[in-house]
Amino acid sequence: MSMLEVESLKRSFGGLVAVRNVSFKVSEGDFLGLIGPNGAGKTTLFNVISGVLRPSAGTVRFLDRDISGQPANQTVRQGLSRTFQAATVYPEATVIENVARGTLGTSLTGLWSGFLSRKWRVAAEEKAYHVLDLFGLRRRADLKARELSYGEQRRLGVAIALASEPKLLMLDEPVAGLNPEEAAELASVLRRVKSERGVTMVMVEHHMRTVMGLCNRVVVLDHGTLIADGTPADVVSNPLVIEAYLGKEAVDA
């Protein structure tokens, strides 16, 4: 079953077309890598799918429902979560509070529930501790997020997104700026999340080793256009892809 269907999606900023007629599908259980040179429109595509930006044209279907142009908070409640490029956490809140806040949007029945009872907090923290276990952050639970190392903050960012119990998790450059050990650690966490929770994932990433190690399918974007779609091995040997990354001479040589 296809989980996410992107159909002739377009997004322009004034005269600049950042994403041009992009179509692809994500099936349940996929780990899709979205790669491309700098400025190819990967993050814009991400923002349009997750509802941060509205599409200029085209549709995004999630679980057979049209979600194009829907605000981000609604797509999350339907099961599509995302992370951000920079470390996006609540710096002044404790680690456990960070993840507990991530659970609220999808687990509460109404805004006024839990005004007198504390059950909601116990439930939220219990759920959050499970997520922290998965990410190896339980020992850091009582520290403030800003007291964590950069690598741990990045992991916490993914943990917050996972706390909303998504069916599809979209990761925007999860290992950018991490050292090789931290990158490997995050990759193993993602693999664990995938196997334990059965979450379908889409990842924008420059770090090719991570992409090759994790993804079963890769789509390549260049100048806002989709130029390749296939297995990692297919894609790296595709002349169009090599040209996009290294220039035309590299292909001829």
Q: Which residues bind other proteins (CB under 8 A)?
A: 50, 52, 71-74, 76-77, 81-82, 84, 88-94, 97, 100-102, 104-106, 108, 111-116, 118, 120-121, 139, 142-144, 147, 160-161, 163-164
Residue closer to other proteins by CB (options 40, 124) is: 124
Token representation of residue 177? 């700026």
Burial of 35 (0-12, 13-18, 19+ CB in 10 A): buried
Opening angle at CA 113, ends 109 and 116, nearest 5? 160
Least distance from other proteins to the Cβ atom of residue 152, Å = 13
For residue 56, how many other CB atoms are within 10 A of its CB?
Answer: 15
Residue closer to other proteins by CB (options 20, 82) is: 82
Least distance from other proteins to the Cβ atom of residue 203, Å = 16
Least distance from other proteins to the Cβ atom of residue 77, Å = 5
Token representation of residue 222? 């260049």
Least distance from other proteins to the Cβ atom of residue 103, Å = 8
- Chain length of the chain: 253
Mapped onto helix, strand or coil, the DSSP state of residue 70 is: coil
DSSP 168-204: EEEEESTTTT--HHHHHHHHHHHHHHHHHH--EEEEE
Residue closer to other proteins by CB (options 16, 86) is: 86
Place of tokens 């035309």: 248
Residue closer to other proteins by CB (options 8, 113) is: 113
Longest CA–CA span in the chain (Å) reads 72
**For residues 78 and 168, is the Cβ–Cβ distance under 8 A?**
no
Least distance from other proteins to the Cβ atom of residue 131, Å = 13
**For residues 203 and 33, is the Cβ–Cβ distance under 8 A?**
yes
Residue closer to other proteins by CB (options 140, 217) is: 140
Least distance from other proteins to the Cβ atom of residue 8, Å = 26
Least distance from other proteins to the Cβ atom of residue 185, Å = 17
Token representation of residue 45? 């595509």
Residue closer to other proteins by CB (options 81, 210) is: 81
What contacts 56, CB < 8 A, 6 or more positions away? 10, 11, 12
Residue closer to other proteins by CB (options 92, 234) is: 92
